[in-house]
Amino acid sequence: MEKGKQSEDGVMTQSPTKPETVGPVSLLECLKAINAGILTPQESIAGCLSRIEAYDAEIMAFSSLSETALHDATQASGPLSGIGMAVKDIFDTYDLPTECNSPIYHGHMSGRDAAIVAQARKAGSTLLGKSATTEFAFLQPGTTRNPHNLEYTPGGSSSGSAAAVAAGMAHLALGTQTGGSIIRPAAFCGVTGFKPSAGLLPKVGIKEFSWSLDTVGLFTATVADVAFAASVLTGRTLKIAPEAQFELPRLGIVRSHSWSEADPGYRQQFEDLIKSLKRFGVDLIDIEPSDTHIAAFHAHQIIQDYEARQALAWEYSTHPDQLSPLLKQTLDFAQTIKPSDYDEARMCAENASKEMDEHFEDVDALISLSAPGPAPKGLASTGSPIFNRIWTLFGLPAINIAGLTTQDGLPLGVQIIGPYMADQATLHIAHWLEGAIKRHQER
Amino acid sequence: MEKGKQSEDGVMTQSPTKPETVGPVSLLECLKAINAGILTPQESIAGCLSRIEAYDAEIMAFSSLSETALHDATQASGPLSGIGMAVKDIFDTYDLPTECNSPIYHGHMSGRDAAIVAQARKAGSTLLGKSATTEFAFLQPGTTRNPHNLEYTPGGSSSGSAAAVAAGMAHLALGTQTGGSIIRPAAFCGVTGFKPSAGLLPKVGIKEFSWSLDTVGLFTATVADVAFAASVLTGRTLKIAPEAQFELPRLGIVRSHSWSEADPGYRQQFEDLIKSLKRFGVDLIDIEPSDTHIAAFHAHQIIQDYEARQALAWEYSTHPDQLSPLLKQTLDFAQTIKPSDYDEARMCAENASKEMDEHFEDVDALISLSAPGPAPKGLASTGSPIFNRIWTLFGLPAINIAGLTTQDGLPLGVQIIGPYMADQATLHIAHWLEGAIKRHQER
């Protein structure tokens, strides 16, 4: 492949296409090689660094790089030794700045690690660098590009985290989701994205945007990888035993009220997959979108914006000219939301959540699209969170499963959503579905 | 009054007693004087500064002082112009360090304001300084002393916030409560403490200890003061109109399972007050402590410790020798709490909370003691949160009402607890009760 060449002013003069990356590198495969003595933890981290060296000038997944990663790897001990980690640049890290992709935080050193970063380091993983985020994890994109085609967005807001894993530059990446900021970029970049039940991973030390919605999650190559990392980081039994046998899941198909907005080719692939799942013997029922859920969808935005205006009160009050017009306008508008609107939105969300819980009496998990289509072309937008919002609002575990692609080779994601705090069962179903998608494609 | 003299090594050589403070200075009285042209905002702040100058060498409510307060007051505009504010030293402030009373954070500049600090400044209030906290708002005391008697603890963890308001050094103080860290110091210092419904005031930019429990709240001289400040800071209708008429409240008396641990003289004063309330025509019923509530009381500690070990993961992992033995031991123990214990504790809390909600069908608010007694003597402990924990766990609005005292002149608090998000009604009842306590004492 011929790479795009940059002119002196840094503008691409030739269309870049797909860079020659190794693709996602499985965390479990890496640990297996280390345990077998084929690879040392330090060599594993050196591999990440050489891939960053090779690809990141084009992909721009990292906003800053650790200079001590190789040394840190020699000191590491624990179940994640040798695992290279990218951390979204809204998490505090004592050794690298936390800039939130905002000039207001240029060079900002928090002087400490966010809780989950400290836990991940203690478990042996090595911080490779901070991965690029949209501005304050909202909508204004950064410069990261999609490893599958550099002319396309990687999605957001956890743009760099998804891209770093997709290009094999990191084995594990930390991200957050407030609307669709984990599942969407995971889908666009063709990796596993796991948004756990609200509260499963600690948020202490992140730059918050909406405290009711912000959820910490993980990116890896495969579902088994993410289940293992989540097990280590939570101390819970979430990992998938290699020889595990599963009963066929009962799945509820959610074709949300935004279904008609989804890409027709993507919808067709989803329906084809559903047919295969039926053939495989899966029990499938349709979950009709109810008025309550549509109301909850709108409530999400009121809650997000009302809380964001408070979470960013200092930035808005003291540095309004350093906010992007997109964020500034959103916060301007948010000043007009009344406390009673917010209270009503929260009540609406609570009722809708209870109604959704009832569906889990009939099914083990829900299946839906991860986004309205493949990654949109261009870097001006990170795409839409309309297929993710209510799952974030309800605090339910959600997983993006990679495997499907467009004819042009862009990834298409399938989303599994489980009951609150049933993260283990949901990961198991997602793991099973990952295999089922492979069988479906081999048909 | 003769002040205690310090020897060269800083130890008090003579027992200090009650310093000659002006007592709490009402925020609303202050605003009235400003509006009447009797006082300028700058003079009002100068008054706070001169009282700090006069009293704080003994009381030690402040851990750091703003050098720009007088200048800031000239620039201030908004409904809180002229109001001097003390901010607990776990809230980020761009101009003063946030040290959390821990050597780990010595000199730590966050470079930004916590959300509520930014909102309070925007509303015109002036930051006087950071008020002393216990270490990370847990139990290890700071050096602050009770303005009513310097040999007694001011309570904690919001020690400096309560003491600063009690001595008239600040009109308004910000604090947090995870167990009993607002209501208890307010009771010990004889001021109004308001722990609003969970989530009413934003937590963004505080050093978290337990995210399910940490609640931001306020200290002022009177209930009407705190209702006014809360109105301004939330944009909600919470303030009490001067001419407001109230129906007599229906109150549920909570003599919790720890009742026998309370000071007998305090209990007697409480029962005498209840008799007066009956005479005044208040409808009073007894709420018996149930097994579920006792279980929730224990669940509080499991949730707090399990979350604290995550919230302080970085500090515990990198600076264990700089934690107090009390906190270190708590976090050591917390490593042994299983995720399943935590999940069970959260479930227990949810059930107990629902059971408590049912009582609010029969009563408008609950009345109880604010603490097991007056401030304990000495500075080695900030007292016990046993009368506060479940109200924090349930996220219910709680207010300490000052007025009762021991024979020695130490304040005794009465606590009013209202239904979730019924902060306005709860403040109204507390305001009524504040007057009723005066009438009770004049009997």
The backbone region for B78, taken as left when phi is positive above 0, alpha when psi lies in -120 to 50, beta otherwise, is left
Percent of chain A with pLDDT over 90: 92
Compute φ and ψ for A365, nearest 5 degrees. Answer: -160, 170
- Asked if residues A35 and A28 have their Cβ atoms less than 8 Å apart, the reply is no
pLDDT tens per residue across span A28-51? 999 999 999 999 999 999 999 999
What's the pLDDT band for A16 if we cut at 50, 70, 90?
low
Q: How far apart are CA A172 and CA B245, in angstroms?
A: 61
Query: The sheet that has A126-131: what strands, in order across it?
Result: A62-65, A126-131, A84-88, A172-177, A215-220, A192-195, A398-405, A411-417, A365-369, A250-254, A283-287
Chain B residues with beta carbon closer than 8 angstroms to that of A343: 421
Percent of chain A with pLDDT over 70: 96
Told to judge if B256 belongs to the known catalytic residues of this protein, a careful annotator would answer: no
B336 touching A (Cβ < 8 Å): no
CA atoms within 13 A on the CB side of B313: 25
ipTM above 0.85, yes or no: yes
**CB-based burial label for B268 (10 Å; 0-12, 13-18, 19+):** exposed
- Asked if residues A368 and A387 have their Cβ atoms less than 8 Å apart, the reply is yes
Q: What does the DSSP assignment read for B307-324?
A: HHHHHTHHHHHH-GGGS-
Residues 6+ apart with CB under 8 A from A312: A136, A209, A327, A331, B115
**CB-based burial label for A1 (10 Å; 0-12, 13-18, 19+):** exposed
- Count other Cβ atoms within 10 Å, centred on residue A16: 18
- Asked if residues A145 and A154 have their Cβ atoms less than 8 Å apart, the reply is yes
B236 touching A (Cβ < 8 Å): yes
Maximum separation of any 2 CA atoms in chain A, in Å: 61
Give the best residue of B109, B314, B335, B357 to mutate against chain A (max A CB count within 10 A). Answer: B314
Query: b/e per residue, A276-308, with b = 16+ CB within 10 A?
Result: ebeeeebeeeebeeeebbeebbebbbbbbbbbb
Specify the CATH number of the domain A250-442: 3.90.1300.10
Q: Distance between terminal CA atoms of chain A? A: 30
State the nearest Cα–Cα gap between B330 and chain A, in angstroms.
Answer: 17
Q: How far apart are CA A375 and CA A187, in angstroms?
A: 8
Residue of higher predicted confidence among B5 and A428:
A428
Q: Helix (H) and strand (E) counts for chain A?
A: 14, 11
pLDDT of A6 > 80? The answer is no
From residue B287, alpha-carbon distances to B256, B280, B308, B353 in Å are 9, 20, 32, 14
Told to judge if B181 belongs to the known catalytic residues of this protein, a careful annotator would answer: yes
Q: How far apart are CA B214 and CA A323, in angstroms?
A: 30
Fold of the A27-234 domain: Amidase signature (AS) enzymes (3.90.1300)
Give the A:B interface size as CB pairs under 8 Å.
Answer: 89
Q: How far apart are CA B207 and CA A307, in angstroms?
A: 18
Told to judge if B340 belongs to the known catalytic residues of this protein, a careful annotator would answer: no
Chain B residues with beta carbon closer than 8 angstroms to that of A111: 108
Q: How far apart are CA A11 and CA A297, in angstroms?
A: 39
Q: How far apart are CA B43 and CA A13, in angstroms?
A: 64
A255 touching B (Cβ < 8 Å): no
pLDDT of A149 > 80? The answer is yes
A337 touching B (Cβ < 8 Å): no
Chain B residues with beta carbon closer than 8 angstroms to that of A236: 339
- Count other Cβ atoms within 10 Å, centred on residue A95: 13
**Mean predicted confidence (pLDDT) in A258-264:** 95
List the single residue in B119, B307, B314 with the smallest CB-CB distance to A112: B314
Fold of the B251-441 domain: Amidase signature (AS) enzymes (3.90.1300)
3-state secondary structure of A91: strand
Please tell me the predicted confidence (pLDDT) of residue B20: 85
Chain A residues with beta carbon closer than 8 angstroms to that of B354: none
Please tell me the predicted confidence (pLDDT) of residue B239: 93
Nearest residue to A375 (alpha-carbon basis) of A384, A366, A388, A387: A384
B202 touching A (Cβ < 8 Å): yes
Please tell me the predicted confidence (pLDDT) of residue A316: 98
- Asked if residues A202 and A116 have their Cβ atoms less than 8 Å apart, the reply is yes
Residues 182-201 of B with CB under 8 A from A: 199
Full pLDDT tens readout for chain B, 443 residues: 333 344 444 444 445 578 888 899 999 999 999 999 999 999 999 999 999 999 999 999 999 999 999 999 999 999 999 999 999 999 999 999 999 999 999 999 999 999 999 999 999 999 999 999 999 999 999 999 999 999 999 999 999 999 999 999 999 999 999 999 999 999 999 999 999 999 999 999 999 999 999 999 999 999 999 999 999 999 999 999 877 777 899 999 999 889 999 999 999 999 999 999 999 999 999 999 899 999 999 999 999 999 999 999 999 999 999 999 999 999 999 999 999 999 999 999 999 999 999 999 999 999 999 999 999 999 999 999 999 999 999 999 999 999 999 999 999 999 999 999 999 999 999 999 999 999 999 97
Which tokens hold the place of B188?
A: 């010990």
Please tell me the predicted confidence (pLDDT) of residue B243: 74
* Nearest residue of A to residue B202, measured between CA atoms: A310
CB contact (8 A) between residue A204 and residue B204: no
Residues of chain A with CATH 3.90.1300.10: 27-234, 250-442
List the single residue in B307, B317, B339 with the smallest CB-CB distance to A118: B317
Please tell me the predicted confidence (pLDDT) of residue A242: 76
The sign of the CA dihedral B339, B340, B345, B347 is: positive
Residues of chain B with CATH 3.90.1300.10: 27-234, 251-441
**Mean predicted confidence (pLDDT) in A275-297:** 95
3-state secondary structure of B415: strand
pLDDT of A196 > 70? The answer is yes
Maximum separation of any 2 CA atoms in chain B, in Å: 61
- Asked if residues A302 and A337 have their Cβ atoms less than 8 Å apart, the reply is yes
Chain B residues with beta carbon closer than 8 angstroms to that of A116: 313
In this structure, what DSSP letter does residue A255 have?
-
**Mean predicted confidence (pLDDT) in A289-296:** 93
Please tell me the predicted confidence (pLDDT) of residue B16: 57
Active site residues of A: 88, 157, 181
Nearest residue to A308 (alpha-carbon basis) of A131, A143, A179, A161: A179
Please tell me the predicted confidence (pLDDT) of residue B9: 41
